[in-house]
Structure 1
Amino acid sequence: MSIEVAHTLTKNFKYSFPTCTNEEILFKLDVPVEIPYSGCTRELVQRVINMFHIPVYLEDELNEKLAEFVATETKNFHNDRDEKLINQLKNSELNVDGIVKNWEKMFKENVMEFAEQKGTSDEEVFAAAYHKLVHSPALETILQVENSYAKTVSSMLKNRDEDVQKMTERQTSEMEENMRLLNTTVTEEDINELATRHFEEQSLVCGRWGSQIDALCQTQRSQHRAWLMTTLDQYQTTAALSTPSNSPLDTFCPERSLSAPAPRLEESFTIHLGSQLKQTHNIRIVACDLLDLCRLDPDNPTEHMRRLQTSLGLYSTELSAVVLLSSAPPATAAPLKALQRAAAASPEHHFASLDLQLKDIAEKVKEPAEQRNSQRGDGRRARAALQPGDVYVTTHSNLGDVHVVFHLVADDDAVSGDISSRHPVIMGLRNILKAACANDITTISLPLLLRHDLTEECTVAWCSRRAELVLKCVKGFVLEAFGWGGARPATLQVAAPPNTSPQVFASLAALLPAIFRVSAPVKAKQPAAH
């Protein structure tokens, strides 16, 4: 049994005042008022005055009386209502579950009415569609379409380079001819004007080609996404696949090249990490340019398998990453410029372009980096956005073997000098490995010597000391990262510079069994025959 509690009730407001002719004769006013009263008492007073022809000199007194009446009756109403509810609760007469459900319903309706409507984003829908299709028979078709797009972009880049080269040769010849005639028929002002005109021509041509390439990539991106969604619908209903009419798949050669890749120095080990619960990992040392992991040649049919693995792992928990050294600011780094060329060789269908990512990163890190540098009292370096040991990350779907690129800022001291385990660049490696474990990156490649090439001052002893320091720190960082949870780096690749000699490479490879616990088969001796 439950007692119904009224939401409102009606009370009569009574007021009397003497008539103008005889003060002993009172005019009595009786007005019903709904309690609680949600309106304005002054407005109600005006309505009462007009309706009953009450003298205007009584307005202030009437308003005061009515406001007092409403306040008193509202207080009494709430007190009576609350007392009834308390008694109901004491006597277990309230349906608490019903009240909770009613509040929940009202809250949801209020949120749905006034809150911002958010659903699954287009990026999430596209990611789910792509992941489903690459793990279906449509994978081959997807790779062919993407390769045809990459060929179109590569052809336009080639035309751009040829156009710029021809213009540069023409301008160089023109400048040399004018320099030969200097102080005869040509003045210094003419040379300056010619140089200015050449610069403007270069800027105009580069801007025109850049605009055309951006427009092509944006068109391909939208066409590719529309085709993928249509293909998913067809595959789910009829299991039939179609190719877009604007994708020249006849340019894709399905035959595989029989030419073997160029030989390189490499060696692999299976290692165990951990004191009690040991984890098995693969560690590989290789002499190569880490940028080779990023470059793709759409005209080379052997690249098909690399694109296959990259596509399958794009929206998975087994991502691949590479660590590239950069300088501050990043726009001056040679590896970054090479990466930009590799990323521009094929359209990016899943993430923002590399240039847009770098621009966004530069804007976001500027303020916090300057605050940090100022707090450290770096003085003249306080304006620098990035310093040695800082890391910024870019994501990609159009590179060869990697999905994520960690850009580790390093200075000349870290590249060529003697450093310790507390150097900022080493600490940057620590942050990279922690981020990799926390973000499903199971394959990571990093520069073994913290440099991308070898020079004359890089002696065998220096290379061994640097490699030993990096490997020992990496081992400790990986063990530390296990405590944070997440994915474990199943494959760790350390890359020596590509110009490493076989002798130096052998000494570097010999460090791995000494630093890591290498898995080795147990040799059992057969008992002697009797």
Structure 2
Amino acid sequence: MPQTEIPARILRKRKFIFTLGYPNSPEIAFDIEIPIPPFTDFTTLFGNLVHKTNLPYACFDAARSQLQEFILKETRSYEDDIADSSVLDFLHEDGPSSEFDYDQKFRMDSGMTPDVTPHFDEDFKELMKVGRTEELLKLIRLESEMNFSLAQKLEQRDAELKKLRAECEDAVERTKETSDLEEHSYNLSVLNDKLQLTEANYCNQIKALTERNRSEFIRAVGILKENGNLPNENCNKKSVPLNKPKFVEHPPVLDESFTIYIGNQLKSMHNARLLQYRSLDEFCHDRSMESMDRTVYESSRLNSLINLYRRDLKAAVMLVDRDPLYHMHTQTEFFKLCEKSVELHFDPIDVQLQKIAGTISTLNKSQRHPPSNQRCFDSMDTRLHGDHDLFRPGDVVFHLVTDQHWDKIDLTSRHPYINGLRNCIRLASKNAVRTLALPLFLNKDVTESQPLAFYQGRADLLLKCIKGFLIEVCSTGASNANCAAFNERSMHYNIIFGVPETLGPKIFEATVDTILQVFHLVPTVNV
């Protein structure tokens, strides 16, 4: 048989070129993989183009249309070449081969590498799209079993450590009353060593349990994605009880919601909410979930997992001291909540904090001459953040470094606290966070010791600054590579302002009046 010419090899990457359209304007080039990789939609692809090329907002519509045509044309060309390759193979082999992968052969002939196995987050995101509800509920029950086993291990650790600490305290008291100081000092040293050894032992056990749970969960997700069902051996047949603490019902707190306009010429509409809170960890964890019925809990958890890798994320701003390991050293309620979660999607809280501490150390070393009115920790944007998969009220938690003597600080729009808050809002915009909860007065512990005018002035300053930050992120949609870049309409944000319940209703009502003065409200419609 005469040799037929092999079709020309094509490259996997194609270059998309777009001209801005005004005189002497430069061309924008962007490399695109053809065909588009799995689990990559057009909106994300266009958002990456905007982010990498700094495409002006005025060119979004034209660039979006041309990019769609370019991808369609190149994909058709790619499929035509695959078809030509299969025909040539049929002619060369003197017959068809039903088991032959023409797509893979074409990739090899054209110098392409096979697709890399998608990451776990891509597998999980795809599973949430196509998985059946009853199978996804099996995955949630498997997660509940892991959470239950972790909670049991933590309870054992806390009980044993509490017992050893009590023995150490008793030994210290006996040392004060006895004359044989050497013997009691030795006993105290033995107890102290036993305490440290027990704590290290449980730390290793919990770490091993966490890694084993994550490996098992990743394997279950892979099985469920490939087969469409999860074998019963992956889930315990007996029902695991939910870890329900005694639910204490608190009286309702004051709550007020507003629909506001942002911007002068190009207005965008957002939601604002003023809410009283008892502690900052309420921004990250809804304690009412702990008393839910199993069916309600599983439905709520399923909704959380579906939205975990989507763009409409929720974030909270927490206030911490300058120590990057503040949560670990002080054992805050937030740290205890994170410790009780299995964290099957992200690193545990201690690992995230240690990574942040290393980053802060590197940044502070690189800054040889910090401003005279700031400390080293302020100069690195005064912002930390972490990811958590258990807390639906807050998918992302920003840590804003503040001072304990917040009421004695002369707060201005140029203060590092305000700059840190600005960085939180900008980073939230870039990472598709639509809902942001923050303490309005940037305080951890507040008593009603200041006059009403003090809180009104601080609320007025912070609300005006936040309004300006929202105008900035809404007017520069290109800063959001994952969501704002491809939305035909402007971004919509939900901002929750928290006011401590200890300040009472008088300051809450005064803050409501301040919001009415700072923001332009959407007119109400009477039906």
Cα gap change, 1:519 to 1:221, in 2 (>3 Å):
same
Is the partner of 2:207 in helix, strand or coil? helix
- Alignment-derived partner of residue 300 in structure 1: 291
Structure 1 gap segments, 5+ residues each: 1-107, 525-530
Aligned partner of 1:275 among 258, 264, 287: 264
- Alignment-derived partner of residue 198 in structure 2: 205
The aligned runs of 1:158-307 (5 Å cut-off) are 158-181=155-178, 183=179, 186-187=180-181, 189-235=182-228, 240-247=229-236, 250-252=239-241, 262-288=251-277, 289-295=279-285, 300-301=291-292, 304=297, 307=301
Specify the code of the residue in structure 2 equivalent to 1:269.
F
Is the partner of 2:449 in helix, strand or coil? coil
Specify the code of the residue in structure 2 equivalent to 1:495.
G
1:496 aligns with 2:488: no
- Contact 2:268-2:492 at 8 Å conserved across structures: no
- Contact 1:227-1:244 at 8 Å conserved across structures: no
- Contact 1:370-1:385 at 8 Å conserved across structures: no
Report which structure shows greater RCO (CA 8 Å, sep ≥6): 2
Instruction: State how far apart, in whole Å, the 2-side matches of 1:229 and 1:205 are.
Output: 36
The aligned runs of 1:352-431 (5 Å cut-off) are 352-372=347-367, 374-376=368-370, 384-385=376-377, 387=379, 389-412=381-404, 414=406, 416-431=408-423
Specify the code of the residue in structure 2 equivalent to 1:152.
S
- Alignment-derived partner of residue 304 in structure 2: 310
Is the partner of 1:364 in helix, strand or coil? helix
- Contact 2:437-2:495 at 8 Å conserved across structures: yes
Instruction: State how far apart, in whole Å, the 2-side matches of 1:425 and 1:441 are.
Output: 21
Specify the code of the residue in structure 1 equivalent to 2:352.
Q
The aligned runs of 1:76-225 (5 Å cut-off) are 119-132=116-129, 136-181=133-178, 183=179, 186-187=180-181, 189-225=182-218
1:478 aligns with 2:475: no
Distance apart, 1:296 and its partner CA = 6.2
Distance apart, 1:241 and its partner CA = 5.0
Instruction: State how far apart, in whole Å, the 1-side matches of 2:310 and 2:427 are.
Output: 16
Is the partner of 1:307 in helix, strand or coil? helix
Q: What per-residue deviation string (whole Å, max 9, x for no partner) do you get for residues 352-380 of structure 1?
A: 112111212222232222222x2236599
Instruction: State how far apart, in whole Å, the 2-side matches of 1:259 and 1:244 are.
Output: 37
- Contact 1:447-1:496 at 8 Å conserved across structures: yes
Cα gap change, 1:324 to 1:359, in 2 (>3 Å):
same
Cα gap change, 1:522 to 1:398, in 2 (>3 Å):
closer
Q: What per-residue deviation string (whole Å, max 9, x for no partner) do you get for residues 184-230 of structure 1?
A: xx12x444434432321221111111111111111111111111221
Cα gap change, 1:277 to 1:499, in 2 (>3 Å):
same
Q: What per-residue deviation string (whole Å, max 9, x for no partner) do you get for residues 280-303 of structure 1?
A: 211111111231232366753268
- Contact 1:437-1:489 at 8 Å conserved across structures: no
| Deviates most, 309-318 or 168-177 | 168-177
Is the partner of 1:283 in helix, strand or coil? strand
Structure 2 gap segments, 5+ residues each: 1-106, 485-490
Paired residue total? 403
- Contact 1:157-1:345 at 8 Å conserved across structures: yes
- Alignment-derived partner of residue 53 in structure 1: none
Distance apart, 1:404 and its partner CA = 0.9
- Structure number with bigger Rg: 1
- Alignment-derived partner of residue 512 in structure 1: 515
Q: What per-residue deviation string (whole Å, max 9, x for no partner) do you get for residues 218-276 of structure 1?
A: 111111111122122232xxxx5545545466124699x99977522211111121223
Instruction: State how far apart, in whole Å, the 2-side matches of 1:323 and 1:482 are.
Output: 20
Q: What per-residue deviation string (whole Å, max 9, x for no partner) do you get for residues 23-48 of structure 1?
A: xxxxxxxxxxxxxxxxxxxxxxxxxx
Distance apart, 1:509 and its partner CA = 2.2
Is the partner of 2:418 in helix, strand or coil? helix
- Alignment-derived partner of residue 86 in structure 2: none
Q: What per-residue deviation string (whole Å, max 9, x for no partner) do you get for residues 45-77 of structure 1?
A: xxxxxxxxxxxxxxxxxxxxxxxxxxxxxxxxx
Cα gap change, 1:164 to 1:248, in 2 (>3 Å):
farther
Cα gap change, 1:405 to 1:254, in 2 (>3 Å):
closer
Specify the code of the residue in structure 2 equivalent to 1:222.
S
Specify the code of the residue in structure 2 equivalent to 1:357.
Q
Instruction: State how far apart, in whole Å, the 2-side matches of 1:314 and 1:267 are.
Output: 28
Distance apart, 1:432 and its partner CA = 1.2
Is the partner of 1:375 in helix, strand or coil? coil
Cα gap change, 1:442 to 1:231, in 2 (>3 Å):
same
Distance apart, 1:110 and its partner CA = 12
Cα gap change, 1:133 to 1:292, in 2 (>3 Å):
farther
Instruction: State how far apart, in whole Å, the 2-side matches of 1:505 and 1:342 are.
Output: 28
Instruction: State how far apart, in whole Å, the 1-side matches of 2:339 and 2:116 are.
Output: 32
- Contact 1:265-1:287 at 8 Å conserved across structures: yes
Cα gap change, 1:377 to 1:258, in 2 (>3 Å):
closer
- Contact 1:310-1:402 at 8 Å conserved across structures: no
- Alignment-derived partner of residue 6 in structure 2: none
User: Alignment RMSD, CA only?
Assistant: 3.4
Is the partner of 1:275 in helix, strand or coil? coil
Specify the code of the residue in structure 1 equivalent to 2:218.
R
Instruction: State how far apart, in whole Å, the 2-side matches of 1:292 and 1:134 are.
Output: 32
Aligned partner of 2:458 among 454, 460, 466: 466
Q: What per-residue deviation string (whole Å, max 9, x for no partner) do you get for residues 407-433 of structure 1?
A: 111224546423111101101111111
TM-score normalised by structure 1 residue count: 0.68
